[in-house]
Amino acid sequence: MARSPANFVLLLMAAATWSFFLAAHAGRLQPSCIGRERDALLAFNQGISDDPYDYLKSWRQERQDCCQWAGVTCDNATGHVVKLDLGGTYLVGKISPSLLSLEHLEYLNLNWTRLCGPDGRVPEFLGSLKNLRHLDLSGMSFSALLPPKLSNLSKLEYLDLSNIHFNKRIVLTDISCANQSLAHLNLTTLHFLDLSYNFFGHPIASGWFWSIKYLDLTDIPPGLGNYTSLRYLSLSSNHLTRPIQLETVSRTTLEVLDLSDNNITGVIPPWLGNCTSLRHLSLSKNHLTGHVPSKISLLGNLTQLDLSNNNLDGVITEEHLVSLKNLEHLGLSHNSLLGHLPSEFGATGLVELTLSYNYFSGHIPESICMLWDLLVLDLSNNLLMGGLPRCSRKPNLAFLLLSHNKFSGKFPSSLKNYSSLAFIDL
226 contributes a contact to ligand NAG by CB under 6 A: yes
Residue selected from 154, 245, 294, 311 as contacting ligand NAG according to rule CB under 6 A = 154
Tell me phi and psi for residue 320, to 5 degrees. -65, -40
Stretch that binds ligand NAG, among 49-57, 114-122, 331-339, 385-393 (CB under 6 A): 385-393
Length of the chain in terms of residues written: 426
Size of the site for ligand NAG (CB under 6 A): 44
61 contributes a contact to ligand NAG by CB under 6 A: no
396: CB partners within 8 A, 6+ apart: 372, 373, 374, 375, 420
β-sheet bridge partners, residue 267: 289
37 contributes a contact to ligand NAG by CB under 6 A: no
- CA max distance for the chain: 98
Nearer to ligand NAG, 280 or 404 (CB): 280
Nearer to ligand NAG, 47 or 203 (CB): 203
- Identify which of 360, 314, 356 has the alpha carbon closest to the alpha carbon of residue 340: 360
78 contributes a contact to ligand NAG by CB under 6 A: no
Tell me phi and psi for residue 185, to 5 degrees. -70, 145
274 contributes a contact to ligand NAG by CB under 6 A: yes
Nearer to ligand NAG, 17 or 263 (CB): 263
271 contributes a contact to ligand NAG by CB under 6 A: yes
Concatenate the DSSP letters of all residues of 195-262 into one string.
--S----SGGGTT-----SEEE-SS--GGGGG-TT--EEE--SS---SPP--TTS-TTT--EEE--SS
Q: Which position's Cβ is nearest ligand NAG? A: 87
Instruction: Decide: 367 and 343 in contact? Cβ < 8 Å.
Output: yes
68 contributes a contact to ligand NAG by CB under 6 A: no
**Cα–Cα distance, 18 to 79 (Å, whole number):** 26
Nearer to ligand NAG, 7 or 263 (CB): 263
Residue selected from 19, 49, 76, 245 as contacting ligand NAG according to rule CB under 6 A = 76
Per DSSP, the three-state class of 377 is strand
Nearer to ligand NAG, 147 or 331 (CB): 147
β-sheet bridge partners, residue 425: 401
Stretch that binds ligand NAG, among 90-98, 268-276, 306-314, 327-335 (CB under 6 A): 268-276
126: CB partners within 8 A, 6+ apart: 95, 99, 108, 117, 132, 135, 147, 149, 150, 153
Residue selected from 301, 303, 317, 396 as contacting ligand NAG according to rule CB under 6 A = 301
Instruction: Decide: 323 and 304 in contact? Cβ < 8 Å.
Output: no
58 contributes a contact to ligand NAG by CB under 6 A: no
Nearer to ligand NAG, 41 or 190 (CB): 190
Nearer to ligand NAG, 111 or 403 (CB): 111
Residue 2: CB minimum distance to ligand NAG, A: 43
Nearer to ligand NAG, 188 or 245 (CB): 188
Tell me phi and psi for residue 95, to 5 degrees. -85, 110
- Residues of this chain that interact with ligand NAG (CB under 6 A) are 75-76, 85, 87-88, 109, 111-112, 127, 138, 148-149, 151-152, 154, 177, 179-180, 186, 188, 209, 222-223, 225-226, 239, 261-263, 271, 274, 276-277, 300-301, 390-394, 413-414, 416-417
